[in-house]
């Protein structure tokens, strides 16, 4: 088991009571794979509009992003725009959505001889993605387990999953079980995950495996990726992209009001 010590990240912005770590793709990959003292663990979280909304309705995700050993990447252009509006120097290059760098992390893990474990998705998505990764990077040490198991503390299925992760000894654990299930899992069992880097990957591995249509990358750079996802799956994405933003705007406005400078 790794003790959760407090790592030092290259740059941190604290705004509206939330933590953000603007990094370019190259800087993020260096952070994931850089050598760390024994016993150091980081959790790689992502901040997008949906994620910020979840922080207001799910305490586990809010706790996770607030922890000093969680690195919070900018997973969407709206976050870049929001931080700019608050006076911070962030650029388009600091938008590091998982789809844009997951394959680079696999390539680097193969090159450096570091293992990867994917936890989540359906058995079909998982096995297809693992086969693709092994074919593309024959030297990559990669394994996984699907995300449909009983997460109740002490359950036989949970213990089997934790034992399998421990036996694989990965450097990078990609947890893709959707929000907020993946955050609840990591929040509850992070102390039992002997993994240097635990990433909250959402659907990134499903995109890699070809089970989700990948939006044109130019759309992401201009903050339009949500339109592609909404059109591809309107029934599932309508709440996220049409209803959550105004609710989130209300939450953030209240944060801004409560944190406004007080008159002397």
pTM, 2 dp: 0.87
Q: How far apart are CA 27 and CA 216, in angstroms?
A: 23
* DSSP structure class, residue 67: S
Task: List the structure tokens of 251.
Answer: 């939450």
| 54-94 pLDDT tens trace | 888 888 888 888 899 999 999 989 899 989 998 999 999 99
Please choose, from the candidates 189, 170, 61, 174, the residue with its C-alpha nearest in 3D space to the C-alpha of residue 125: 174
What is the pLDDT, as a whole number, of residue 257? Answer: 67
Q: Return the axis-axis angle of helices 59-66 and 181-189, rounded to nearest 10°.
A: 60
Mean pLDDT across the chain: 88
């Amino acid at each position: 088991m790794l003790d959760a010590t407090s790592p030092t990240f290259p740059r941190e912005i604290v705004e509206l009571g939330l933590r953000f770590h603007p990094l370019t793709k190259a800087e993020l990959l260096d952070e994931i794979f850089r050598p760390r003292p024994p016993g150091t663990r980081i959790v790689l979280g992502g901040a997008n509009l949906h994620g910020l909304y979840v922080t207001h309705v799910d305490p586990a995700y809010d706790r996770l992003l607030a922890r000093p050993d969680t690195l919070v990447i900018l997973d969407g252009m709206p976050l870049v725009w929001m931080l700019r509006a608050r006076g911070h120097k962030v650029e388009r290059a600091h938008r590091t959505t998982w789809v844009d760098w997951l394959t680079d992390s696999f390539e680097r893990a193969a090159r450096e001889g570091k293992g990867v474990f994917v936890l989540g998705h359906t058995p079909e998505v998982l096995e297809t993605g693992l086969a693709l990764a092994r074919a593309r990077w024959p030297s990559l040490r990669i394994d996984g387990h699907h995300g449909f198991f009983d997460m109740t503390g002490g359950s036989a299925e949970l213990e089997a999953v934790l034992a399998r992760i421990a036996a694989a000894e990965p450097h990078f654990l990609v947890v893709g079980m959707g929000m907020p299930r993946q955050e609840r899992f990591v929040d509850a069992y992070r102390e039992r995950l002997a993994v240097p880097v635990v990433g909250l990957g959402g659907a990134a591995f499903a995109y890699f495996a070809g089970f989700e249509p990948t939006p044109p990358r130019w759309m992401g750079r201009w903050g339009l990726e949500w339109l592609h996802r909404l059109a591809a799956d309107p029934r599932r994405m309508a709440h996220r992209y049409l209803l959550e933003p105004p609710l989130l705007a209300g939450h953030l406005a209240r944060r801004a009001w409560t944190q406004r400078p007080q008159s002397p």
